[in-house]
């Protein structure tokens, strides 16, 4: 494996188990306020692409017209409930400070900054454990475009080829590979075969298992 100097983490599904809780918040709200009868499986095609694409795609799939306020409303519900419905990835509150001693760390999430910071709080770590937090609020092109990982690498001052990207979604793997990073897929929304087929260089069952790859 190439020399790794920085680790760039996706957030949802990698550092926190937040994808299903957010989907459930959206499904309930879209039904109650807009009469849109969405289902969990409707989100499958949009995992990892950011909530505008996900919520918008689900709304349109069910015959509705997407309004930006829909995402904001779903976010408000999620942020209020996150402390009770979202779990951190196992052991990451201790693993991240240990990794910080050897590597530059960053979050690279397609979600809006307020949701990302909410999830950092769920993790039980200070935001300062990350040398950079790049979110959907900071970019023009969402994953699978490489923009977010190129920005994260630049923000931590490490060349993309010396960065490890940790992702659970096909769109995120494609983004990391397009940026020139070493990409590790994590079991979650997609299985091993799908993530490897998308270009992941390695695969782990849980995020903390990247420690074994780093050696």
- pLDDT tens-place string over residues 27-52: 999 999 999 999 999 998 888 777 88
- For residue range 157-197, list pLDDT tens digits in order: 999 999 999 999 999 999 999 999 999 999 988 999 999 99
Is 201 among the catalytic positions? no
State pTM to two decimals.
0.87
* CB contact at 8 A, 213 and 20: no
Pairing of strands 87-88, 16-17: antiparallel
- Predicted pLDDT of residue 46: 87
* CB contact at 8 A, 127 and 146: no
**129: DSSP letter:** G
Q: Where are the domains of the chain?
A: 6-17+87-214, 19-85
- Predicted pLDDT of residue 30: 96
Q: Which residue has the tokens 């940026």?
A: 179
The active-site residue, picked from 12, 42, 52, 112, is: 12
Q: For the residues 104-123, what does the mean pLDDT come to?
A: 93
Is 12 among the catalytic positions? yes
The rounded percent of the chain whose pLDDT value lies above 70 is 100
* CB contact at 8 A, 156 and 131: yes
- Predicted pLDDT of residue 99: 98
Which CATH architecture fits 6-17+87-214? Answer: 3-Layer(aba) Sandwich (3.40)
- Predicted pLDDT of residue 51: 82
Average pLDDT score, the chain = 94
Residues belonging to the chain: 215
Q: For the residues 116-129, what does the mean pLDDT come to?
A: 94
- Predicted pLDDT of residue 113: 92
How far apart, in whole angstroms, are the C-alpha atoms of residue 109 and residue 86?
16
Q: For the residues 78-92, what does the mean pLDDT come to?
A: 94
């Amino acid at each position: 494996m190439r020399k790794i100097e920085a680790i760039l983490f996706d957030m949802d599904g990698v550092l926190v188990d937040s994808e299903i809780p957010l989907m459930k918040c959206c499904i309930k709200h879209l039904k109650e306020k807009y009469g849109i009868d969405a289902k969990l499986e409707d989100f499958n095609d949009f995992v990892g692409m950011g909530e505008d694409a996900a919520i918008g795609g689900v709304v349109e799939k069910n015959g509705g017209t997407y309004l930006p306020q829909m995402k904001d409303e779903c976010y408000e519900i999620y942020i209020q409930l996150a402390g009770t419905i979202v779990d951190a990835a196992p052991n990451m509150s201790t693993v991240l400070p240990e990794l910080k001693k050897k590597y530059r760390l960053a979050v690279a999430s397609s979600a809006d900054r307020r949701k990302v910071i909410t999830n950092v709080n769920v993790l039980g770590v200070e935001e300062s454990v990350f040398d950079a937090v790049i979110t959907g609020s900071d970019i023009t092109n969402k994953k699978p475009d490489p923009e977010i990982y190129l920005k994260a690498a630049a923000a931590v001052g490490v060349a993309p080829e010396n960065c490890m990207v940790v992702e659970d979604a096909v769109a995120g793997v494609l983004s990391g590979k397009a940026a020139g990073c070493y990409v590790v897929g994590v079991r979650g929304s997609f299985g091993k075969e799908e993530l490897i087929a998308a270009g992941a260089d390695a695969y782990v069952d849980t995020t903390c298992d990247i420690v074994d790859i780093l050696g």
